[in-house]
């Protein structure tokens, strides 16, 4: 007898292909889950990487120069000497926020005035319409932000008035290095020649002015080395050096966090797909048991019959990964459209080798890991099944089950750590995911157990049959509750969070709440501005005096000494910042005392009792009783911290890090902030026009408009997040279709038997409809409930606010998802009633 | 003891299954022998233990008590994979419900045992076997595209593919009409003669049993009658 050689890998691969070829209908839906999951991860990961890369590549164009020295006060002689030693600045800029008015248009707007000289920008472009305007504005004209031009229907040649000076508009400004789109939406840039800044008369006490000196680096100049050398000297002089590299990395970090979050959402989609794979494989393997028994009967070993299906899974993972990469590539083209002008640079969409590797390894690893457990069943199939029905051996090796479970948790954790780069956060993520999975699994199991226990035997035939389908063997309850639940949880949580953020920023609609802030009011203007407000019919809600000062010493240690101490953990912001300080005798609504006692009025103490915000206390490392010495415009003032306040900075109202009691700063040089409330847009516009014409140096912040902008930004971010969350739902749909397809034969047989026994097609359809309606509702309801719990935790821990859930997820998301599941379930099952009972039964017997 | 001329030797074989809280004694102290090239029939009413005996003899199930020697190998001493290898090299099967792999074509079904042994010209041999059973034109068809008789002929071709020393047939004509059943029966005995394969048939069909060299009748797990 020819013994031959034992069948090797090529035979196993051949068998895997032969079997897969005939089962591609079922496998396609499993692969679809992987495709969608991998596409979600790859698109987000690749886009985040490209965004960072593009920022780094265009760092010079973003800054407009190689490096810049900047200060929020006129530079000192020492800084001037440093600039000279560097060969002098190649360009200079003075910028500040101010009100602009447009004579003839009857309009005003809060803008960022940028006075520039020299050849700025050295990199990137000053994009203007017309193109020549980029040079022409230097002839005493202005370039006005393009959106503002459209908003007020401005044309080249029209005027813009900044303070005391009117400028002819040379053109509209499309892009300019150094202006971010987010801040630009609140205070759009207006460029004028630096020489004309003084003519505006806007540089006064209290004005928030930035002085910038731009440089082009010499060839091979080491910018990091330069930064290291000058950092401490410039710090002492209240100046700072920024290189194009540090600017790019700062911007990159800002978008990185957003990318990480989206990556996690994408990863959850992938995990959902894997739940589908695990469940689908369970049903798939069940269908293959007889074939496995035949193979074993013909002489195939346990390992061989296992490997045939293992190879199929690996191939599914690879194919899913490959198509996922391609779909992800298409998908990431949508991100720039969805995010629009929130992106700092135009992103060139390419496909990186890293993304390809990520997609393939993720697809394969996840599908293999999640299929291992159901695949283990093949090992225990008895060849005796070929002769007769054998009681299925459901016991699996405990060690193998534990290893598979550990492998899944380990992989999820490693991937989360790779994305987040933070051990604690990765653990929280895995734990959070575990809790959500656990809760949904428990609810599904509990639901099935309760339904079995308290089965409504008195209900009609259709309802009874339909409900029985929810807990019969090979039911879809668990997998659908999981996938629908997680998808709904994500979408609802994102909705609640967005709501919470907006709620925090929104003003309560009360008569005495301010919605307009008037800044930079000189002491001599206070009463006149108040009179203007009152005569126009608007109330003066608050008059807030502001005195600027810098920290001179902390706990008897001079700031200059702290700067030299390389071990000091005190924040640079404390040492360099010019604080805007107010004085008053009571707390305001956005503050509460967390330590010490509030002092309303200063007595004749040696040290003045002050109150600091908790952020200031943390960064300055001071506590109640510690001394802080200030330099109040040349005068040294010793104070002692008497209370620490927690300040809600998200409230759109003037908030302060440092508050003095009354009786100290009244005679110091100061300026004021005033708040008022306007009820209509027309009234607000008229008031702004009047104020700008009478007090051109006063800046006006219209909180209503800012709130609108904030809503717009959150809306755009929300779009992308919702888009990703919907991916989870799409994956859930693929899983749902896969599950329906897998169990179709059983359902067809059941339907055919019922029809043979006299059930009508409409009755069978009603059974299916009720089953999916219940599953859809249960999954979506649990998702929304978990989202309420999750959002309450977020509100308590992160936002420190009371959470009142909006009804939208309950009224819109819950019914929409239920209807979607219902429609897909019924639509996919229609085949069951299309075939005649005899053809189904004959097919089953073949 | 070593069996030399006997392809199958069953000694004092007993088998018990657990059903609920009861033990079912399916086989009780069964002994018989099958020589090389011999045809052997196992008959008996439903539930007499015929199929269980066949499964045990082919190494598809574990023995509780007694011994089975198949092709000079004591099945008790082999693990599942060892028994699978023994089957692949020495045993062929024909089942009542054909047991073709539904996702494989007729030819692919036939060559599985050959490929499992790593035989290179499996396809050529498979085509020859299909020609022998008159299905050379149906090699690319899937089982669902074949009639019951055609499926059983494919199963026969598969059973003889690895030139087995012994072939086990469980009610080979049970699912077929009389005419097709007779054709399959004829083919089975022809191939048995041609290849010198020992044949063990489980059947209800007394006519078929009478064609065998030897037969036993089982009742309630015991041998009631031996012939030949």
Give the integer Cα–Cα distance in Å for A818 and A772. 8
Higher pLDDT, A732 or A633: A633
B-chain residues near A1 (CB < 8 A): 89-90, 163, 165
B-chain residues near A300 (CB < 8 A): 84, 88, 116
Could you write out the three-class secondary structure of A325-381? Answer: HHHHHHHHCHHHHHHHHHCCCCCCCCCCHHHHHHHHHHHHHHHHHHHHHHHHHHHHC
- Identify which of A817, A763, A720 has the alpha carbon closest to the alpha carbon of residue A339: A720
pLDDT at residue A341 tops 80: no
> Per the CB < 8 Å rule, is B117 touching A296?
no
- Identify which of A236, A245, A203 has the alpha carbon closest to the alpha carbon of residue A98: A203
What separation in angstroms does the CA of A500 have from each of A116, A710, A712, A803? 41, 13, 15, 7
pLDDT at residue A617 tops 90: yes
Task: Return the pLDDT at A146.
Answer: 85
- Identify which of A572, A566, A569, A598 has the alpha carbon closest to the alpha carbon of residue A583: A598
* Full-model pTM: 0.66
Q: In chain B, which residue's Cα lies nearest the Cα of A301?
A: B81
The helix/strand/coil state of A233 is: helix
Task: Return the pLDDT at A710.
Answer: 66
Nearest chain A CA: its distance from B103 CA (Å):
5
| For chain A, percent of residues with pLDDT exceeding 70 | 85
pLDDT at residue A389 tops 90: no
Helices (H), A454-523: 461-469, 477-505
Q: Which value does ipTM take for this structure?
A: 0.83
Task: Return the pLDDT at A581.
Answer: 92
pLDDT at residue B2 tops 50: no
B-chain residues near A383 (CB < 8 A): 60, 84
Task: Return the pLDDT at A508.
Answer: 44
pLDDT at residue A6 tops 70: no
Higher pLDDT, A304 or A839: A304
Q: In chain A, which residue's Cα lies nearest the Cα of B159?
A: A298
Best mean pLDDT range from A202-211, A258-267, A614-623, A728-737: A614-623
> Do B40 and B166 meet the contact criterion of CB atoms below 8 Å apart?
no
pLDDT at residue A451 tops 70: yes
Angle between helices B148-161 and B178-195 (to 10 degrees): 10
Instruction: Determine the average pLDDT of the residues in A270-294.
Output: 78
> Per the CB < 8 Å rule, is B104 touching A18?
yes
Instruction: Determine the average pLDDT of the residues in A677-692.
Output: 81
Higher pLDDT, A710 or A159: A159
pLDDT tens digits along A517-576: 888 888 888 889 999 988 988 888 888 898 989 899 999 889 888 888 878 888 878 888
> Per the CB < 8 Å rule, is A386 touching B60?
yes
Categorize the per-residue pLDDT at A392 as very low, low, confident or very high, splitting at 50, 70 and 90. Answer: low
Q: For testing the chain B interface, which of A8, A27, A297 should be mutated: the one with the most B CBs within 10 Å?
A: A297
Task: Return the pLDDT at A583.
Answer: 93
B-chain residues near A7 (CB < 8 A): 115-118
Could you write out the three-class secondary structure of A176-225? Answer: CCCCCHHHHHHCCEEEEEHHHHHHHCCCCCCCCCEEEEEECCCCCCCHHH
pLDDT at residue B176 tops 60: yes
Q: For testing the chain A interface, which of B58, B84, B140 should be mutated: the one with the most A CBs within 10 Å?
A: B84
- Identify which of B39, B28, B80, B38 has the alpha carbon closest to the alpha carbon of residue B59: B80
Higher pLDDT, B179 or A344: B179
Task: Return the pLDDT at A551.
Answer: 92
- Each domain of chain B, given as residue ranges in start order, spans 6-227
Categorize the per-residue pLDDT at A1 as very low, low, confident or very high, splitting at 50, 70 and 90. Answer: very low
- Each domain of chain A, given as residue ranges in start order, spans 89-214, 459-507+704-846, 516-703
> Per the CB < 8 Å rule, is A387 touching B170?
yes
In sequence order, the β-bridge partners of residue A160 are A167
> Per the CB < 8 Å rule, is B118 touching A11?
yes
Task: Return the pLDDT at A4.
Answer: 43
Instruction: Determine the average pLDDT of the residues in A361-386.
Output: 84
Cα angle value B152/B155/B160 (rounded, 5°): 130
* B6-227: CATH, from 3.40.50.300, 3.40.50.800, 3.30.390.50, 3.20.20.150: 3.40.50.300
Task: Return the pLDDT at A221.
Answer: 80
Give the integer Cα–Cα distance in Å for B209 and B194. 20
Tokens at A37, concatenated: 């999951």
Q: In chain A, which residue's Cα lies nearest the Cα of B88?
A: A299
B-chain residues near A5 (CB < 8 A): 117-118
Give the integer Cα–Cα distance in Å for A33 and A20. 17
Interstrand relation of A142-145 and A165-175 (parallel, antiparallel or unpaired): parallel
Quick one: chain B helix, strand, coil %, rounded to 5? Answer: 40, 30, 30
Of A21, A294, A846, the CB nearest to B144: A846
Nearest chain A CA: its distance from B83 CA (Å):
8
Q: In chain A, which residue's Cα lies nearest the Cα of B119?
A: A4
What separation in angstroms does the CA of A457 have from each of A129, A465, A713? 77, 10, 54
Task: Return the pLDDT at A612.
Answer: 95
Give the integer Cα–Cα distance in Å for B107 and B111. 6
| For chain B, percent of residues with pLDDT exceeding 90 | 39
Instruction: Determine the average pLDDT of the residues in A320-347.
Output: 80
Question: Which residues lie below 8 Å from residue A372, measured CB to CB, with a gap of 6+?
Answer: A404, A407
B interface toward A at CB cutoff 8 Å?
A: 51, 54-55, 58, 60-61, 80-81, 84-85, 87-91, 93, 95, 99-104, 108, 112-119, 142-144, 158, 162-163, 165, 170
pLDDT at residue A26 tops 80: no
Give the integer Cα–Cα distance in Å for B30 and B50. 11
Q: For testing the chain B interface, which of A2, A3, A4 should be mutated: the one with the most B CBs within 10 Å?
A: A4
Give the integer Cα–Cα distance in Å for A289 and A299. 15
> Per the CB < 8 Å rule, is B116 touching A7?
yes
pLDDT at residue A167 tops 90: yes
Residue A19 contacts B where some CB pair is shorter than 8 Å: yes
B-chain residues near A843 (CB < 8 A): 144
Instruction: Determine the average pLDDT of the residues in B145-172.
Output: 90
pLDDT tens digits along B51-90: 899 999 998 888 889 999 999 999 999 988 889 889 888 9
pLDDT tens digits along A180-216: 655 566 788 899 999 998 888 887 655 678 899 999 8
- Identify which of A304, A309, A316 has the alpha carbon closest to the alpha carbon of residue A284: A309
Mean pLDDT computed over every residue of chain A: 82
Task: Return the pLDDT at A267.
Answer: 74
Q: In chain A, which residue's Cα lies nearest the Cα of B101?
A: A291
Instruction: Determine the average pLDDT of the residues in A87-99.
Output: 88
Helices (H), A216-301: 223-236, 244-297
CA A711 to chain CA centroid, nearest Å:
14
Q: In chain A, which residue's Cα lies nearest the Cα of B55?
A: A384
Q: For testing the chain A interface, which of B112, B119, B168 should be mutated: the one with the most A CBs within 10 Å?
A: B112
């Amino acid at each position: 007898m020819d013994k031959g050689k034992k069948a090797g890998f090529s035979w196993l691969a051949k068998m895997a292909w032969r079997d897969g070829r005939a089962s591609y209908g079922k496998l396609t839906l499993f692969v679809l889950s992987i495709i969608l999951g991998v596409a979600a991860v790859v698109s987000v990961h690749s886009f985040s990487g490209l965004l960072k890369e593009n920022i780094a590549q265009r760092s010079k164009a973003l800054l407009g120069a190689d490096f810049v020295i900047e200060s929020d006060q006129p530079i000192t002689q020492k800084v001037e000497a440093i600039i000279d030693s560097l060969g002098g600045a190649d360009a200079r800029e003075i910028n500040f926020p101010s009100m602009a008015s447009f004579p003839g248009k009857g309009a005003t707007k809060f803008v960022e005035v940028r006075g520039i000289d020299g050849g700025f920008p050295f990199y990137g472009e000053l994009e203007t319409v017309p193109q020549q305007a980029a040079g022409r504005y230097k002839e005493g004209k202005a370039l006005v932000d393009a959106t503002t031009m459209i908003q007020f229907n401005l044309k080249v040649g029209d005027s813009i008035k900044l303070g005391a000076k009117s400028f002819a508009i040379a053109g509209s400004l499309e892009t300019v290095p150094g202006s971010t789109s987010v801040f630009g939406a609140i205070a759009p840039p207006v460029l004028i020649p630096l020489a004309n800044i003084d003519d505006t008369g806007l540089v006064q006490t209290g004005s928030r002015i930035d002085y910038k000196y731009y440089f082009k680096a010499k060839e091979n100049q080491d910018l990091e080395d330069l930064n290291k050398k000058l950092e401490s000297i410039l710090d002492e002089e209240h100046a700072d050096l920024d290189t194009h590299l540090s600017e790019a990395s700062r911007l990159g970090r800002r978008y990185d966090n957003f990318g990480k979050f989206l990556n996690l959402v994408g990863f959850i989609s992938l995990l959902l797909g894997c739940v589908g794979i695990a469940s689908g494989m369970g049903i798939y393997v069940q269908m293959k048991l007889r074939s496995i028994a035949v193979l074993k009967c013909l002489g195939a070993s346990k390992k061989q019959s296992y490997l045939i299906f293992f190879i199929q899974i690996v191939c599914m993972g690879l194919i899913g990964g490959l198509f996922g990469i391609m779909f992800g590539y298409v998908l990431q083209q949508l991100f720039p459209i969805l995010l629009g002008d929130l992106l700092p640079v135009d992103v060139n969409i390419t496909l990186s080798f890293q993304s390809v590797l990520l997609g393939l390894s993720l697809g394969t690893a996840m599908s293999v890991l999640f299929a291992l457990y159901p695949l283990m069943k093949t090992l225990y199939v008895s060849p005796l099944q070929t002769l007769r029905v054998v009681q299925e051996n459901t016991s699996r090796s405990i060690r193998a089950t534990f290893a598979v479970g550990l492998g899944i948790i380990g992989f999820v954790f490693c991937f989360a750590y790779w994305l987040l780069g933070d051990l604690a956060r990765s653990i929280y993520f895995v734990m959070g995911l575990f809790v959500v999975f656990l809760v949904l699994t428990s609810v599904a199991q509990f639901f099935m157990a309760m339904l079995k226990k308290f089965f409504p035997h008195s209900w009609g035939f259709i309802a009874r049959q339909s409900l029985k389908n929810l807990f019969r063997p090979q039911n879809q309850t668990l997998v659908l509750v999981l996938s629908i639940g997680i998808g709904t949880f994500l979408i609802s949580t994102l909705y609640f969070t967005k709501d919470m953020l907006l709620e925090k920023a929104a003003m309560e609609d009360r008569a005495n709440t301010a919605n307009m802030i008037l800044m930079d009011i000189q002491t001599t203007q206070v009463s006149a501005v108040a009179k203007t407000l009152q005569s126009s019919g608007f109330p003066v809600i608050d008059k807030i005096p502001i005195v600027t000062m810098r920290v001179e010493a902390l706990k008897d240690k001079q700031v200059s000494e702290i700067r030299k101490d390389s071990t000091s953990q005190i924040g640079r912001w404390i040492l360099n910042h010019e604080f805007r300080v107010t004085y008053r005798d009571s707390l305001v609504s956005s503050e509460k005392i967390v330590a010490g006692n509030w002092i309303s009025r200063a007595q004749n103490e040696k040290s003045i009792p002050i109150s600091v915000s908790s952020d200031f206390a943390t960064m300055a490392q001071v506590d109640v009783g510690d001394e802080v010495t200030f330099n109040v415009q040349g005068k040294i003032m010793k104070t002692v911290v008497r209370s620490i306040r927690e300040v809600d900075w998200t409230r759109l109202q003037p908030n302060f890090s440092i508050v003095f009691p009354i009786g100290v700063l009244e005679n110091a040089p100061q300026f004021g902030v005033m708040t008022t409330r306007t009820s209509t847009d027309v009234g607000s516009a008229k008031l702004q026009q009047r104020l700008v014409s009478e007090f051109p140096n006063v800046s006006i912040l219209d909180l209503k408009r800012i709130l609108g902008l904030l809503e717009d930004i959150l809306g755009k971010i929300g779009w992308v997040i919702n888009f990703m969350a919907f991916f989870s739902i799409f994956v859930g749909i693929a899983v749902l279709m896969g599950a329906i397809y897998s169990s179709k034969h059983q359902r067809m047989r059941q339907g055919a038997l019922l029809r043979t026994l006299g059930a009508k097609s409409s009755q069978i359809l009603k059974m299916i409809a009720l089953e999916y309606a219940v599953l859809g509702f249960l999954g979506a309801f649990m998702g929304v409930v978990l989202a309420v719990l999750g959002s309450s935790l977020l509100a308590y821990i992160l936002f420190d606010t009371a959470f009142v859930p909006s009804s939208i997820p309950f009224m819109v998301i819950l019914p929409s998802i239920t209807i979607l599941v219902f429609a897909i379930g019924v639509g996919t099952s229609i085949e069951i009633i299309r075939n005649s009972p005899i053809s189904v039964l004959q097919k089953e017997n073949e | 003891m070593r069996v030399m001329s006997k392809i199958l030797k069953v000694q004092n074989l007993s088998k018990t299954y657990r059903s609920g809280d009861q033990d079912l004694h399916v086989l009780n102290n069964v002994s018989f022998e099958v020589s090389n090239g011999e045809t052997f029939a196992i008959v008996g009413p439903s539930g007499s233990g015929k199929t269980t005996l066949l499964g045990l003899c082919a190494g598809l199930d574990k023995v509780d008590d007694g011994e089975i020697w198949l092709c000079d190998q004591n099945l008790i001493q082999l693990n599942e994979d060892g028994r699978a290898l023994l089957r692949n090299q020495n045993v062929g099967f024909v089942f009542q419900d054909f047991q073709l792999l539904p996702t494989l074509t007729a030819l692919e079904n036939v060559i599985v045992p050959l490929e499992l042994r790593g035989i290179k010209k499996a396809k050529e041999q498979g085509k020859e076997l299909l020609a022998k059973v008159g299905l050379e034109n149906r090699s690319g068809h899937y089982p669902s595209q074949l009639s019951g008789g055609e499926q059983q002929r494919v199963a026969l071709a598969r059973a003889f593919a690895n030139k087995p020393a012994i072939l086990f047939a469980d009610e080979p004509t049970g699912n077929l009409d009389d005419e097709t059943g007779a054709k399959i029966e004829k083919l089975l005995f022809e191939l048995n003669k041609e290849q010198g394969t020992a044949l063990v048939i489980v059947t209800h069909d007394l006519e078929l049993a009478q064609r065998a060299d030897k037969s036993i009748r089982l009742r309630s797990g015991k041998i009631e009658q031996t012939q030949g």
